[in-house]
Amino acid sequence: MLGVGLAISALYELVEWWAALIGGERADAFLGAQGDHWDTQWDMFLALLGAASALLLLSRLHDRQIATVEETSHV
């Protein structure tokens, strides 16, 4: 699941990069990096933290919901 979050984040960063290549100087308004050379890395790191947090906070709820569905489907 962490890989999915990072893959989506990487895809978005690639779209930003392609927009920068196509847009030239106008791309600065789209990117919003505000001069931060580490913007891409920060974005992907925060996506990793978000995915890990979601796994930690929601995995038990997910397991309970699956168990409930399995119990009701056997009836």
Domain residues of the chain, as ranges?
A: 2-73
Query: Tokens 């995915």 map to which residue?
Result: 51
> Tens of pLDDT along 5-16?
999 999 999 988
Average of per-residue pLDDT values in the chain: 87
Q: What is the largest CA-CA distance in the chain?
A: 63
Kindly report, residue by residue over 19-48, the tens digit of the pLDDT.
888 887 777 666 766 778 888 899 999 999
CA-to-CA dists, residue 45 to 5, 21, 56, angstroms: 10, 23, 17
pLDDT band at 75 (very low <50, low <70, confident <90, very high): low
- In this structure, the chain runs to a length of 75
CB-CB contact of 6 with 44 (8 Å):
yes
